[in-house]
Amino acid sequence: MTDRLIYLPLGGAGEIGMNAYVYGYGKPGKERLIVVDLGVTFPDMDGTPGVNLILPDISWLKKRKSQIDGIFITHAHEDHVGAIGHYWEQLGAPVYARPFTANIARRKLSEHGLPDSVVTVVDVYPQVIECGPFKVSYLPISHSIPESAGLLIDSPDGRVLHSGDFKIDETPVVGDPWNAALWEEVSKNGVKALVCDSTNIFSEAPGRSEATIGDAIADMMKEATGMVVATTFASNIARLKTLAIAAEKGGRSVVLLGRAMRRMVEAATEVGILSGFPPVVSPEDALNMPRENVMLLVTGSQGERRAASAQLAQGSYLGLKLKEGDTFLFSSKTIPGNERGVIRIMNQLSELGVDVIDDAGGKYHVSGHANRPDLETLHEIVKPQILIPMHGEHRHLREHVKVGNAKGLTGIVAVNGMMIDLSGNTPKVAEYIETGRTYLDGTVQIGAMDGIVRDRIRMALNGHLIVTLIIDENDEPLGDPWVEISGIAETGRNNAALVDVVEQDLSQFVNRANAKTLRDEVKLEKELKTIARRSAAAEIGKKPEVTVIVSRLS
C-alpha cells in the first residue's frame, strides 16, 4: 500500500461552529495525523435543552491518540478553540497557536489544571513547524478576532492551504491586514487543495472593512443624549477598539461590563496587540459621572440570558440602570436561532424608554467572514487543484462548490465524517467515519445519541407521570397504585383530578390481574404504563411520559 494524504472533518463541515478538522499522511490506517482547531457549538432549547456545551465527537481520534503529532489552532473563537480544555488529555499532542490565541487556549487549559507548556507559541510564515510528515506555517489573515491565521500545510503529497475563518480587509483596525502578496507567494508553485471558509458564500456584495464603520459609530455616540450602551462579541477586539475610540470622540468614558469583555481586553493587552485603547473607568466611578459622558461596552449581543446586556435590560447591573433617553447599540449581527433572545432584550429596553439601534442598515457592523466575491478572490489567487469548502452548513458547502465550479475549479462537498483521499488527481471519498456530537452536560460528557437529552425533550413536550405500586411477599398488591404528575394539567375532562382518574383505571386493572401477571415484572410495568397513558389521553388529550416503579416486598 502506498502513502496517502487525507482530509477528515469531524466538525464544522455541515454546521456553522464546532470546527475540528484532521489531516493525515501515511499508509492507510497508519497515517500520522494533525488536528486543525477544536471548537464547540452552543446548545439551544429546541434540540439540546439543559446541555452546557456541544463538542465534536472525537472517538475516531481518541482511538488513534498515538498517531497524532500536533493540534493547530487557527484563532481564538470558541468554535475553534473552545473544546481544547475538555479534550486535550484525550489527545495529548502539542498545541500550536499565535500569541493571542495561545493566551486564550492556555486560560482554557489551566481551568482543567493543565500547564502552559502544553501550548507552543508560534511565529507566522515563513516560520515552519515540523510535525510528523507535515510542515506547517501560520499565514496571517484578517478576521473578527486578532491574530487569525490560515495554515500552509505541506505534505510529501503536496501543499494544502487551510484558510481558517477569514475576511479580506486591508484596514482591519486591529490585527493583520489582508496580504494578497503573501497568499500569491505561497500559491505560486501550485496548491493541491484549498480548504476554505464558507459561512458567507450567500452574501453577494464584496465585504466591507472594519474601518468603514468607525465614523458612523462616532457620530451616533456624539448625537446620543443620555448614556450609551454598546454590545458586540467580546472577542472582536477591533470592534471594541472602534467603539471605545468612538466613545472617546463623543466625550464618553468607557466601562467594560461582563466577564468575557474584561477577559478579552486583558488578553489582548497582555500580548501587546491592543494599543490606543482609551483608559476605562469602573462601574462605580461611572455612577458618579453625567450619563452623556459614559459608554458601557457590554457582553450579550446574542441575547444570552445572564449576560450584562440582559441584566441591564431587566433593570440594573452593578448598580447601573438604564432609563428614558439612553441608547443601546447592537454592533453585531444576530446569529440565526438567537432572534427570540435578542428581541426579548429589545422589548425590555423599549419598556424602559431606551432607544435601540440595531444593525438592520449595516451601518454599525461588518461581518468577519469573506463574502462570495472575496472567496472568489482567494480562489483566483490560490488556483487550487481541488476546492474543499469547510465551515458551513450543507447548503453553504454545496453553494461554495457551485461557485468554484462556475470558475472552472474542481470541488467536493465533504461533510463531517467523510474522509477524503487527496492523493490522486481528483479527490475521492476514502471512508465514512461514524461521527456526531458530544454534549457537556453539567460536568459529564454524554453522547448526543445516548437518549438522555431525548428523554428530557419528551418530558418537556408531554410531561411526566409516575406510577408506584407495592406488591407484597405473596405477589399480591399492597394498597392501590399511586400516581404523581409533573408538568401535566391537574384536571381534565369533567374537572376531575387527573391523578384520581388514572389511579382508578390502574386500580381496576390491578385488582383484576391474575397472579401470573402480577409476578411478571416486565408485563406488569408495560400494562400499567399503557393504561396510564391511555387514561391520561382520554382526560387531557395528550399522552405523558410514564415511569412505573413496582416495589416488591420480599
Show contacts with its own copies in window 364-383 (CB under 8 A). none
Residue 482 found at the interface with its own copies (CB under 8 A): yes
Show contacts with its own copies in window 120-139 (CB under 8 A). none
Can you spell out the DSSP letters for 96-118?
EE-HHHHHHHHHHHHHTT--GGG
Upstream peptide bond of 206 is cis (omega within 30 degrees of 0): no
Q: Looking at 275, 336, 425, 522, which residue binds its own copies (CB under 8 A)?
A: 336
Return the half-sphere exposure (C-beta side, CA atoms, 13 A cut-off) of residue 61.
31
Residue 466 found at the interface with its own copies (CB under 8 A): yes
Nearest to its own copies of 244, 471 (CB atom): 471
Q: Which residues are 326's β-sheet partners?
A: none
Residue 545 found at the interface with its own copies (CB under 8 A): yes
Residue the block writes with cell 496587540: 273
Residue 478 found at the interface with its own copies (CB under 8 A): yes
CB of 360 to its own copies, least distance (A): 7
Residue 459 found at the interface with its own copies (CB under 8 A): yes
Nearest to its own copies of 29, 479 (CB atom): 479
Distance CA(411)–CA(404), nearest Å, equals 7
Residue 542 found at the interface with its own copies (CB under 8 A): yes
- The answer to whether 217 touches 242, Cβ cutoff 8 Å, is yes
Distance CA(442)–CA(439), nearest Å, equals 9
Distance CA(536)–CA(293), nearest Å, equals 61
Classify residue 167 by its DSSP letter.
B
Tell how strand 428-432 and strand 418-421 pair up: antiparallel
Q: Looking at 202, 433, 497, 525, which residue binds its own copies (CB under 8 A)?
A: 202
Distance CA(553)–CA(472), nearest Å, equals 5
Residue 216 found at the interface with its own copies (CB under 8 A): no
Nearest to its own copies of 121, 452 (CB atom): 452
- Whose CA is closest to 491, among 528, 541, 456? 541
Residue 468 found at the interface with its own copies (CB under 8 A): yes
Stretch that binds its own copies, among 76-84, 205-213, 294-302, 448-456 (CB under 8 A): 448-456
**φ and ψ of 541, to 5 deg:** 75, 15
Torsion angle of alpha carbons 448, 451, 456, 457, nearest 10°? 70
Stretch that binds its own copies, among 234-242, 264-272, 341-349, 426-434 (CB under 8 A): 341-349
Residue 499 found at the interface with its own copies (CB under 8 A): no
Q: Looking at 461, 496, 511, 534, which residue binds its own copies (CB under 8 A)?
A: 461
Q: Looking at 340, 428, 523, 526, which residue binds its own copies (CB under 8 A)?
A: 340
Residue 443 found at the interface with its own copies (CB under 8 A): yes
- The answer to whether 205 touches 237, Cβ cutoff 8 Å, is no
Residue 481 found at the interface with its own copies (CB under 8 A): no
Residue 291 found at the interface with its own copies (CB under 8 A): no
Show contacts with its own copies in window 344-363 (CB under 8 A). 346-347, 349-351, 353, 356, 360
Nearest to its own copies of 180, 461 (CB atom): 461
Residue 449 found at the interface with its own copies (CB under 8 A): no
Nearest to its own copies of 107, 456 (CB atom): 456
Q: Which residues are 156's β-sheet partners?
A: none
CB of 450 to its own copies, least distance (A): 8
Stretch that binds its own copies, among 58-66, 150-158, 250-258, 452-460 (CB under 8 A): 452-460
Nearest to its own copies of 269, 511 (CB atom): 511
Instruction: Tell me the three cell numbers of residue 46.
Output: 429546541
Nearest to its own copies of 51, 160 (CB atom): 51
- Site string (40-59) toward its own copies, x via CB under 8 A: ----xxx--xx---------
Instruction: Tell me the three cell numbers of residue 157.
Output: 503529497
Can you spell out the DSSP letters for 317-350?
ETTEE--TT-EEEE-S-PPTT-HHHHHHHHHHHH
Show contacts with its own copies in window 399-418 (CB under 8 A). none
Q: Total residues at the site for its own copies (CB under 8 A)?
A: 64
Nearest to its own copies of 280, 489 (CB atom): 489
Instruction: Tell me the three cell numbers of residue 478.
Output: 399492597
Stretch that binds its own copies, among 63-71, 154-162, 259-267, 456-464 (CB under 8 A): 456-464
CB of 340 to its own copies, least distance (A): 5
- The answer to whether 105 touches 81, Cβ cutoff 8 Å, is yes
Residue 79 found at the interface with its own copies (CB under 8 A): no
CB of 441 to its own copies, least distance (A): 6
Q: What is the CA radius of gyration of the chain?
A: 28
Residue the block writes with cell 436561532: 337
**φ and ψ of 267, to 5 deg:** -65, -45
Nearest to its own copies of 367, 462 (CB atom): 462
Nearest to its own copies of 14, 140 (CB atom): 14
* Angle between helix 259-270 and 237-249 (nearest 10): 100
CB of 541 to its own copies, least distance (A): 3
Return the half-sphere exposure (C-beta side, CA atoms, 13 A cut-off) of residue 32.
11
Instruction: Tell me the three cell numbers of residue 266.
Output: 486583558
- The answer to whether 533 touches 546, Cβ cutoff 8 Å, is yes
Neighbours of 417 (CB within 10 A): 19
**φ and ψ of 321, to 5 deg:** -125, 140
**Contact positions vs its own copies (CB under 8 A):** 14, 44-46, 49-50, 202, 336-337, 339-340, 343, 346-347, 349-351, 353, 356, 360, 393-395, 398, 441-444, 446, 452-453, 455-457, 459-464, 466, 468, 470, 478-479, 482, 484, 486-493, 537, 540-542, 545, 547, 549, 551, 553
